[in-house]
Structure 1
Amino acid sequence: MWKSGAACSATRVGVATIITTVFGMALADALIKQSSTAMTLWQIYVLRSALVLPILLVMARGRMNTGRYGWIALRSLALVLMYLGIYAAIPWLELSVVAAALYTSPLFIAGLSAIVLREPITSRHWLGILIGFAGVLLIVRPAASGFKPLALVPVGAAFLYAVAAVITRAKCSDMPTRALAVWLNLSLLVTGLAASLYLSRTGVGAGFDYPFLFGAWRPMSGRDGWVIVVLACLMIGISLGLARAYQSPRPQVIATFDYSFLIFATFWGFVFFGDIPDRLTLLGMGLIMLAGVIVLTAGTPEPTRLEKAKVARDQPLVPCRVKTRTRPQRTDTSPSNR
Structure 2
Amino acid sequence: MSASTTVTAAENRQSIFIVVGSVFLLSVSDAIIKATSADTSMWQLYVIRSLLAIGMLLAWLVHRCGATQLWPISPFWVGVRSLLLALMWIAFYGALPFISLTIAALAIYTTPLFIALFSAISLKENVTSRKWLAIVLGFVGVVVTLGPSADDFNTWTLLPVLAAILYALAMVVTKGKCANEEPMQLALTLNIALLLIGIAGSMVVVQTGPHFPSDEGMRFLVGDWSAMNVGDWWVMVLLAILMVLVSTGIARAYQVGETSIIGAFDYTYLIFAIAWGALLFNEMLNGRTAAGLVLILLSGFILLKKPAAKR
SS at 2:39's partner residue? coil
User: After superposition, where does 1:184-203 map in structure 2 within 5 Å?
Assistant: 184-203=190-209
Cα-Cα RMSD: 4.1
For 1:137 and 1:69, locate their aligned partners in 2 and report how far apart those are by CA, in whole Å: 38
1:43 aligns with 44
Q: Do structure 1's residue 161 and structure 2's residue 167 form an aligned pair?
A: yes
User: After superposition, where does 1:1-338 map in structure 2 within 5 Å?
Assistant: 20-61=21-62, 62-84=68-90, 89=96, 93=101, 104-143=110-149, 147=152, 156-203=162-209, 210-242=218-250, 260-294=268-302
CA contact (8 A) 2:50 2:191 kept: yes
CA contact (8 A) 2:26 2:242 kept: yes
Shift in alpha-carbon separation, 1:291–1:120, aligned structure 2, 3 A: same
For 1:173 and 1:16, locate their aligned partners in 2 and report how far apart those are by CA, in whole Å: 18
Residues paired across the two proteins, number: 290
Shift in alpha-carbon separation, 1:99–1:140, aligned structure 2, 3 A: closer
Tell me the CA shift for residue 241 of structure 1: 4.3
The 10-residue stretch of structure 1 (218-227 or 27-36) with the greater mean CA deviation from structure 2: 218-227
Q: Provide the TM-score with structure 2 as the length reference.
A: 0.74
Can you list the C-alpha shifts for 1:157-179, whole angstroms capped at 9, x where unaligned?
Answer: 44332111101111111111111
- State the AA in 1 paired with 2:295: L
Tell me the CA shift for residue 70 of structure 1: 2.8
Q: Unaligned regions of 5+ residues in structure 2, if any? A: 1-7, 63-67
CA contact (8 A) 2:261 2:303 kept: no
Q: Provide the TM-score with structure 1 as the length reference.
A: 0.69
Larger Rg: 1
- State the AA in 1 paired with 2:29: A
For 2:132 and 2:278, locate their aligned partners in 1 and report how far apart those are by CA, in whole Å: 34
Shift in alpha-carbon separation, 1:225–1:85, aligned structure 2, 3 A: farther
Shift in alpha-carbon separation, 1:118–1:211, aligned structure 2, 3 A: same
CA contact (8 A) 1:110 1:295 kept: no
2:5 aligns with none
CA contact (8 A) 1:47 1:228 kept: yes
For 2:100 and 2:35, locate their aligned partners in 1 and report how far apart those are by CA, in whole Å: 11
CA contact (8 A) 1:18 1:241 kept: yes
CA contact (8 A) 2:178 2:255 kept: no
CA contact (8 A) 1:99 1:261 kept: no
SS at 2:225's partner residue? coil
Q: Unaligned regions of 5+ residues in structure 1, if any? A: 1-6, 300-338
- State the AA in 2 paired with 1:35: T
- State the AA in 1 paired with 2:190: L
Tell me the CA shift for residue 109 of structure 1: 1.1
For 1:134 and 1:245, locate their aligned partners in 2 and report how far apart those are by CA, in whole Å: 24
Which is helix-richer, 1 or 2? 2
- State the AA in 1 paired with 2:272: F
- State the AA in 1 paired with 2:47: V
- State the AA in 1 paired with 2:170: A
SS at 2:192's partner residue? helix
For 2:122 and 2:262, locate their aligned partners in 1 and report how far apart those are by CA, in whole Å: 24
SS at 1:275's partner residue? coil
Tell me the CA shift for residue 297 of structure 1: 6.5
SS at 1:36's partner residue? helix
Shift in alpha-carbon separation, 1:249–1:33, aligned structure 2, 3 A: closer
CA contact (8 A) 1:104 1:292 kept: no
Q: Identity over the aligned pairs, expressed in percent?
A: 40
- State the AA in 2 paired with 1:113: S
SS at 1:119's partner residue? coil
Shift in alpha-carbon separation, 1:136–1:246, aligned structure 2, 3 A: closer
For 1:237 and 1:175, locate their aligned partners in 2 and report how far apart those are by CA, in whole Å: 16
